[in-house]
Amino acid sequence: MRRPALYSSSSRSINDSDSAQPLQGPVNSNGQHQTLRGRFRAMFRFARHDTRALWTVIGLLSLLLLATLWLALLRPGARQLTQTDIDAAVLKTLESNVLPSPAAKAYEAILPSLVRVTSYVKNKDGDEDIEQAVGTGVVIIDKGIILTNLHVIQGAETIKVVFSDGLESTASVKGTQESDDLAVLQAHKIPDDLHAATMRSTADLVPGDQVVAVGFPFGIGPSVSSGVVSGLKRVFRSPQTNQEISNLIQFDAAANPGNSGGPLVTMDGQVVGIVTAILNPGRQRTFIGIGFAVPIENAASAVGLHPF
């Protein structure tokens, strides 16, 4: 749960002697006052790992530049501030600070809803769990409802999920939709601040739209790869089960075994599909440039939802 903000107060008032002192920054670990430049460097070191904070700092710097230019106009003989001056000031601020890529922002948006899914079966003696498959899932309802691929958990005696904050839980199968290779899981324990992914209709999706695939390829992750939608309404037949799945999204963001069940995400961080298969003419089971995802409309119907 979110913690309430804590505030502190001080009864100390500013006296005349205080006002007579020169303006100084906070004291650092060496007992020296930080310069204003040092304070801004510290702010950037903190904000570089947080997109919202980074934008806030950039906004503050832009306002500071504009204020400086405005004050300069108040001086006698100063030239008039133009739109070119403003554009140049903002551009200089943006050029001096590297912003996250669209793929990085999409990854950041979906990460709190990402789940690692592992299925287990008993060994021959029936006294030990053996890993059967590793895949990916995505939280679509914040009560612990998770979408994944049916082939990831099919035949499993035990299913375990790990949330983005590291919480591990067992899970049970709430429902399946074999025609789309989908399974719905219910986690038995969930984080206090669990976030459900935002789903987006594929109605306006077109070839060339940028997407990212996020998951645990070969159990490594979370991993992100970027690409584009290569085609729509594709048909794929599984070489293992001979099952045919239709109305698929084709994409070229790298995916491998372990990505199954993971989200296909647009640049605004919204889920348009569930990764379900990769084209494999050979036996290597590695990505050759063609992946398939079930449209989120089909996936949502597996849990009785139609979000659009």
Any idea which fold 111-187 has? Thrombin, subunit H (2.40.10)
3-state secondary structure of 91: helix
Amino acid symbol at 130: I
Q: Any catalytic annotation for residue 181?
A: yes
Measured between alpha carbons, how far is 35 from 25 in angstroms, rounded to an integer?
6
Q: Is 285 left (phi over 0), alpha (psi -120 to 50) or beta?
A: left
In this prediction, residue 14 carries a pLDDT of: 38
Burial class (CB in 10 A: 0-12, 13-18, 19+), 48: middle
* Tokens 């045919």 found at: 244
DSSP assignment string, 175-230? EEEGGGTEEEEEESS--TT--PPPB--STT--TT-EEEEEE-GGG--SEEEEEEEE
In this prediction, residue 91 carries a pLDDT of: 77
In this prediction, residue 155 carries a pLDDT of: 94
- Residue 139's closest CA among 290, 274, 281? 274
Q: Any catalytic annotation for residue 16?
A: no
In this prediction, residue 99 carries a pLDDT of: 72
CATH 3.90.950.20 fits 210-301, yes or no: no
Catalytic residue among 113, 151, 169, 223: 151
3-state secondary structure of 274: strand
In this prediction, residue 29 carries a pLDDT of: 45
Q: 119 — phi, psi (to 5°)?
A: -110, 145
In this prediction, residue 281 carries a pLDDT of: 63
Neighbouring-strand partners of residue 303: none
In this prediction, residue 1 carries a pLDDT of: 42
Catalytic residue among 113, 223, 230, 260: 260
The model's pTM is 0.69
Could you say which residues of the chain have pLDDT below 70?
1-54, 57, 66, 69-81, 94, 281-284, 302-308
Domain ranges of the chain: 24-99, 111-187, 210-301
Q: Any catalytic annotation for residue 165?
A: no
Catalytic residue among 181, 225, 226, 252: 181
Measured between alpha carbons, how far is 257 from 276 in angstroms, rounded to an integer?
10
- Residue 202's closest CA among 266, 280, 276, 112? 266
Whether residue 119 contacts residue 153, with contact meaning beta carbons closer than 8 Å, is answered with: yes
User: Do 111-187 and 210-301 have matching folds?
Assistant: yes
Helix ranges (DSSP H) in 48-142? 51-74, 83-95, 102-110
Whether residue 238 contacts residue 245, with contact meaning beta carbons closer than 8 Å, is answered with: yes
- Residue 182's closest CA among 265, 119, 106, 245? 245
